[in-house]
Amino acid sequence: MTPSLDTLRDLQRRVAAASGADRELANEICVSLTGGYAGEPDTSIDAAVALVERTLPGWSYEVMFWPGGDERGSCLLLEVGPDGWRQGGMQKINVSAATPPLAICSALLSALISRAETAKAEG
């Protein structure tokens, strides 16, 4: 399932503004990205990582997290790419959010936005 660029951007804005778990937002993320329920990516790191794996199958990723990285509290660097390190295809995405699971969701949305923008530019 491929949501529109506008949908991805709206979801990313809402994740960035979230102060914590938000079931409605989590449901909209899951439905938009997978077409149905995909766990609780707003509260569970495992569910958020599973959403990355489900949404970007076959992609390599690395997650680095440090608490208190900025005023939001959770910073995360997600490196994703279809060809992994060996091919030099990793993209670094540095985001912050209120919680680690929301930071993973934000980084995933950033990766999807970047991919959609590239596809749009290539026509």
- Across the chain, what does the average pLDDT equal? 81
Cα-Cα-Cα-Cα dihedral sign, residues 14, 40, 66, 106: negative
91 within 8 A of 97, measured Cβ to Cβ: no
Count CA atoms closer than 13 A to 69's CA, side-chain side. Answer: 16
pLDDT of amino acid 70: 54
Q: How far separated are the first and last CA of the chain, in Å rounded?
A: 19
What pLDDT score does 93 carry?
76
Query: Which pLDDT does position 107 carry in this prediction?
Result: 86
pLDDT at residue 9, as a whole number: 97
pLDDT at 77 exceeding the cut of 70: no
| Separation between Cα atoms, residue 107 and residue 100, nearest integer Å | 11
Tell me how far apart the alpha carbons of residues 105 and 89 are, in angstroms, rounded to a whole number.
21
Q: What is the pTM of this model?
A: 0.83
Q: Coil, helix or strand for 123?
A: coil
